[in-house]
Chain A
């Protein structure tokens, strides 16, 4: 719309389009004496799906939690949605700016964290009303269409304790999407769900990827991640061991550490 009124030089427009959604440089995170992340760098371009794989306890979740500052990085730089949010342990945003930023970057948790005192519908309307200031009826309409999109239209008035893990996670995804986020951060979204019910959550994530949603996915389901992602990072002991397309990282891993990890998974039948 704006383009038709103000003429943007083509090269600038091109640049804006290509500007990465997320840029992380030299990110470190220390919890007490333990250095969990030891200098991580990567970027995510608009419309791209990046997955972070690696053994447990290697800092995968910490990386994704540093992106919306649920964890404060110890050093390094994090930029997201065109804003530098943290550099060398300092948060560069005011509380208000941080809240605004978080509403633009949706997050889905391993443990769902769907609010137990609210119905599925209320979970999805809550932030629409109190963060975006949408009216109650507008929020409900949007929530209903999202719940239908994730296949839970008929469960809108159920409380979380009446829903399965897969259903709760789909409510959580609808809740995140309700704010029309520009990027979605998924922290092991299917790990805590029964294998049979993972399918329904994956279907929703697949559809989001196909619709062009920019996503960062932390997972240890390597085969699924390979199918879904444009690029993958293999993280071990707080460093990026290998990165590239799924064909490169999973198909032809260059590093011994990556190969060992993938072999272990194969032996395990995952």
Chain B
């Protein structure tokens, strides 16, 4: 076992987590917006996108993306394919999370902001979004942890991250229990850090639930 090999594999995983987390949480915004749009057609398209994405395993999506781009004659590499797949798949989860956050804001606050004569954009910007955000940050941590673990599927198309590293060593005759326990610790550390970050940023004192 080489420490450098392990650390570089961890670095690949970390890089995937960071890019996917940022990419998916940003892409989730327009998807959530479309899902809550006034026009039924846009709403339907967003709902279909979310339904199809979430109804098929991430691993299957990964192969679909990987083989599609390869057939199309484009060879972006395993890591890039995996990142694109995870960004798109998790944007659907984030979108549903954002929508749930907005819907969790009690209608009384929305009505009060309307009764004051605030415009639709101001109502969202000044009242609904700040209240929804408190719910969203807390519940997004489970998606973040899901992303940490899902990066492992990338090993199956050859991205050289933690799981690939363990698999490669076991295939070369290494002790499976040892190698997978070691990478398990790394995954656990990442999940814990994200969990603590989320908890710090959730202000339970003034969540909308307390009127």
A residues with a Cβ closer than 8 A to B are 68, 70, 95, 99-104, 106-107, 109, 111-117, 126-127, 130-131, 159, 161, 172, 175-176, 179
Contacts and interface: CB of A to CB of B under 8 A. Distances in A.
Nearest to A128: B116
A8 to B, nearest CB: 29
21 contacts: A68-B115, A70-B115, A99-B117, A99-B118, A102-B115, A103-B117, A112-B211, A113-B108, A113-B111, A115-B109, A115-B113, A115-B127, A115-B131, A116-B109, A117-B130, A126-B118, A126-B126, A127-B116, A130-B118, A161-B210, A179-B117
Nearest to B108: A113
A117 to B, nearest CB: 5
A181 to B, nearest CB: 10
A113 B128 CA distance: 12
Of A107, A111, A117, most B-chain CB atoms within 10 Å: A117
A70 B108 contact: no
B97 to A, nearest CB: 19
Given A68-B115, A102-B116, A116 B122 contact: no
Nearest to B206: A116
Interface of B: 106, 108-109, 111-120, 122, 126-127, 130-131, 134, 205-208, 210-211
A131 B115 CA distance: 11
A113 B206 CA distance: 13
- Interface on chain B toward A: helix, strand, loop, or mixed SS? helix
Contacts of B210: 116, 161
B126 A109 contact: no
Contact of A102 (B117, B127, B208): B117
A95 B120 contact: yes
Contacts of A112: 211
Of B108, B109, B210, B211, most A-chain CB atoms within 10 Å: B211
Contact of B108 (A95, A100, A111, A131): A111
Q: Which 9 A-B pairs have the closest CB atoms?
A: A103-B117, A113-B112, A127-B116, A107-B115, A102-B117, A113-B108, A99-B117, A131-B117, A117-B130
Of B108, B115, B122, B130, most A-chain CB atoms within 10 Å: B115
Contact of B131 (A107, A111, A116, A130): A116
Contact of A116 (B116, B118, B208): B208
Nearest to A107: B115
Nearest to A159: B206
Contacts of A109: 108, 111-112, 115
